Amino acid sequence: MEIEPNTDSWLEDTRTSYDTVATSYADQVRNLLDETPEERAVLARFADLVSSRGGGSVADVGCGPGRITAHLRQLGMDAFGIDLSPGMIKVARRDHPGLRFELGSMTDLDLGDGSMAGLVAWYSLIHIPDKEIGTVFQHFHRVLQPGGPLLLSFHVGSESSIKTEGYGGHPMKVHVHRRQHSHMTAWLNEAGFTVDEHKTLTSAESALGGILLARRQSVTQ
């Protein structure tokens, strides 16, 4: 059964929920990449794509406690994190001192046009309702350089559910949307992206996770 969130409250509910669970969430996911070699390989592939194009700034959008941002930095990327939750930003700055983390929403990215060499949204689209995905991808397209790579991960499925508790038993109120590769690809194509690679996997990150590597189409496409 598909459940659509109240469009007046889903963003605030998501922010409040992750403020509440920020510390316990960070503790639970801190070392997940150690258990997910396929995800590490995809992140390395993304880093190679950015480097092959001359490098530049990379935004980890919906960065949470900053573990993916930090991993990208270890891969040589000029990466920084953006997250909706002040609590998550506080934990990210605590756990990764010296790295850059900013408050912001992927529904209204405060980044310059064509300013990003690459973008990552690592399981951070899962709370975005279908009707907002187009807006998010338009922002991704706007801030990416032509040809710049976009790496997305998401939960694969066809249903949405409401998560009311998580990460140490703390209360939450977030919608978790599971999606098919075909839907994600269609939305990306409509926003001006070309999907070059996709896969589905099972790992510590997700019982059924989807990975997409796309690129912003150049002005001549």
Which domains are assigned to the chain? Answer: 10-216 (3.40.50.150)
pLDDT confidence of residue 65: 97
**Arithmetic mean of pLDDT, 43-64:** 97
Distance CA 65, CA 141 (A): 25
Could you tell me the pLDDT band of residue 71, with boundaries at 50, 70 and 90?
A: very high
Residue 166 has pLDDT above 80, yes or no: no
* 164 contact partners, CB below 8 Å, separation of at least 6: 171, 172, 173
Distance CA 124, CA 64 (A): 8
Q: For the whole model, what pTM was predicted?
A: 0.92
Could you tell me the pLDDT band of residue 194, with boundaries at 50, 70 and 90?
A: very high
Q: Comparing 116 with 203, which gets the higher pLDDT?
A: 116
- Of the listed ranges 58-72, 78-92, 109-123, 171-185, the one predicted with least confidence: 171-185
Q: Which of 183, 192, 153, 177 is nearest to 63 (CA)?
A: 153
pLDDT confidence of residue 8: 58
pLDDT in tens, 121-147: 999 999 999 999 999 999 999 999 999
Give the containing element (helix H, strand E) for 177.
strand 170-177
